[in-house]
Amino acid sequence: MTSKQFLTLIANLKHKFFFSLFFGCRVNAAESNLISQILINAGLKPISETDNNIPSLIVVNTCSITQKGENESLRKIKSLSIIYPKAIIVITGCASISALPKNKNFYFLNNIAKKNLLSQNTLTYSPKIKDRLSKYHRYLLNIQIGCNQFCSYCIVPYKRQQLWSLPIKDAILQTKKAIDLGFTEIIITGVNLEKYTPGLTNLTQSLLQKTSAPLISFGSIPLNCINDDFLKLFKEYKSRITNFLHIPLQSGSDKILKLMNRPYTTQKITKTIENCKLKIENLKLGTDIIVGFPTETETDFQQTYNLCQSIGFTKIHTFRYSPRPGTASSKLLQTVNKKTKKYRSQLIRNLTFQTTPPFHQKQDN
C-alpha cells in the first residue's frame, strides 16, 4: 500500500483503538513512535497490547537484521492475527513477508512508502508514546535512513538501500519541539550515521548551539564518524553531551574486517579509541562483536578478544554469526561450528562482566 492508501485506511476505521509494535533497532523505534503520533493526530486512540479494549488497527514494524529477528517478527504477526481476527494489521519494516499466510486483514507498507508517510520532517512524537527504548524522557531523533556500505554479512542494504538524511534545520526544529514536550535527552539515531550527508559533527554542534537540549547522546556511532572536530564538542559542551559511546567494531582481526567489508582497520580502531579516551572525561564504551564469521580462526578470535580486553568495554553486544541468504558472506564456505561460536561468544561476554558489572547491569539501551 502507498502512504496515501494508509491515510485513507485509517480515516475510514470505525473503531478507533490501535497499538503499534516494533522489532529491532532505534530507527524502527523512532519510526513507530512517529507512526503512532500520526494515528493519534488522525483521532485514533493508542492502547497497550495488554489493554482490555480491542484494537481495530495494529501496526508492526519488523526487523530482519538476523534470521532470529525476522522469525520473531513474523511469529508475532501470526499470533496477533489469531488473537485479533478482526483487526487490520499493517506490516512494515525489513522482514520478508513471503513466509506469512494469506490474510485479507494484512496490509503491507514497504520502507519507501513508510518514508513517504514520515516525510513531514518536523513531526515530533510526544512522551505519551512510551516505547521501551526511549523510556518517557528520551527522544529518538532519527536523522538517517538507508545504507549502501554492503558489509558482507548484512541484509540491510538490500532492504533499505535508499539513503535519506534529515536536514539540520529540521533536526533543530524537531529537537526544540521535543524539549518543549518535556523530553530531557535527545538520542541521535540512524541506520548508518556515516552516511548522514550534512555530517554528524555539524549536526551535533548545531543541536548543542541552537537548542537547549539538556543532554545529547547517540544510538550507535560508526568509528569513522569520530574525528578531532567531533571530539572537541565533548570538551566544549561537557555537561550536555554523553560520555557513553557505542561504537560497533564487529571484529579485532584485520583479515576478518576486510572479509566483512568494514571500512576500517584495527590500527584505525586503536588510534580512534585512544583519542576518545584522551578527549572524553569518564568515557564509557560499548560495542557490537560478531563471533564465528566464516574463516575465523582461533588466532583471529584471539585478536578480537585481546582488542576488546585492551579497550575495556562496559558493554558488548555479542552476536554469533548466522548467514543471511543473498549476502556476500553467505557464500563463504569455511564456516565455524556452533559449539565454537557459542564458546567464543561466552568468552567475549565474560569480558564485559570482568570490566564493570554494575554499569552493565544498569544500562538498558
Q: Which residues form the interface with ligand SF4 (CB under 6 A)? A: 147, 149-151, 154, 156-157, 191-192
Residues paired with residue 141 on neighbouring β-strands, in sequence order: 188
Residue closer to ligand SF4, measured from CB, 58 or 94: 94
Smallest separation (angstroms) from ligand SF4 to the CB of 190: 10
Smallest separation (angstroms) from ligand SF4 to the CB of 151: 3
Smallest separation (angstroms) from ligand SF4 to the CB of 210: 29
- Where are any strands of DSSP class E within 238-314? 244-246, 284-291
> CA distances (Å), 31 to each of 111, 201, 335, 339, in order?
11, 23, 36, 37
Smallest separation (angstroms) from ligand SF4 to the CB of 166: 17
Residue closer to ligand SF4, measured from CB, 46 or 222: 222
Helix axes 228-236, 266-279, angle to 10 degrees: 20
C-alpha–C-alpha distance, residues 148 and 163, integer Å: 8
Residue closer to ligand SF4, measured from CB, 176 or 255: 255
Q: What's the chain's Rg over C-alpha atoms?
A: 21
C-alpha–C-alpha distance, residues 346 and 340, integer Å: 10
**Cell reading at 76:** 508475532
Q: Which helix (H) or strand (E) segment is 236 a member of?
A: helix 228-236
**Cell reading at 67:** 534470521
Residue closer to ligand SF4, measured from CB, 147 or 348: 147
Quickly tell me which residue has 566544549 as its cell.
236
Smallest separation (angstroms) from ligand SF4 to the CB of 69: 13
Smallest separation (angstroms) from ligand SF4 to the CB of 317: 13
Residue closer to ligand SF4, measured from CB, 24 or 55: 24
The dihedral sign for the CA sequence 66, 153, 271, 165: negative
Residue closer to ligand SF4, measured from CB, 121 or 149: 149
